[in-house]
Amino acid sequence: MPRDPDEPLDGAFRICMVCTGNICRSPMAEIVLRDLVEKAGLSDQVIVSSAGTGEWHVGEHADPRTVAALESHGFDGQQHRARQFDPDWFDSLDLVVALDRSHERVLRSWARSDDDRAKIRLLLSFDPEFAGRSDVPDPYYSDAAMFDSVLSMVEKASRGLFRQLEPAFHRSRLAL
């Protein structure tokens, strides 16, 4: 069972993946990144969550096509419940990852300080293969093949994000 992102865990690095309704792209990114964290044995140091900029789907499961795409890639998306990003979360988050520029704009408008704005990054910025491309496409109005394509893109960029973060967590373990 995934850890509740609001559950206190002293010293943990907190990441929130953000899309529009928190039923397609951001749950994919949350589940993929959490899987990387768990496989690396870093669950005690990194908490991954997700949210949407809008409230339309709060409390709902992930889109069935999201769940199907995740399952076809070996991930479990059954437990996901959508929620809306709360600007107060900036205080407890270390990194806020937007899935496209519209989410980034909304998050920046909600940020209360330069420190908050400095926490916001686009997911595709973590993988040089996507240089010049900033948006993970929204598959919501498309077919199952688009969900698979988006998940592949999310997996690749999430691995890039994890590769950038992982050395810092291993160094902090050595310091203990």
Q: Which residues are catalytic?
A: 19, 25, 138
The C-alpha atoms of residue 135 and residue 100 are separated, in whole angstroms, by 4
Q: Are 84 and 7 in contact (CB under 8 A)?
A: no
Of 3, 7, 13, 1, give the one whose Cα is nearest residue 45: 13
Residues with Cβ within 8 Å of 1's Cβ and at least 6 positions away in sequence, in order, are 79
Evaluate the CA torsion angle 130, 79, 103, 86 in order and state its sign.
negative
Backbone φ/ψ region at 103: left (φ over 0), alpha (ψ -120 to 50), beta:
alpha
Q: Are 26 and 19 in contact (CB under 8 A)?
A: yes
Question: Beta strands 120-122 and 46-52: pairing type?
Answer: unpaired
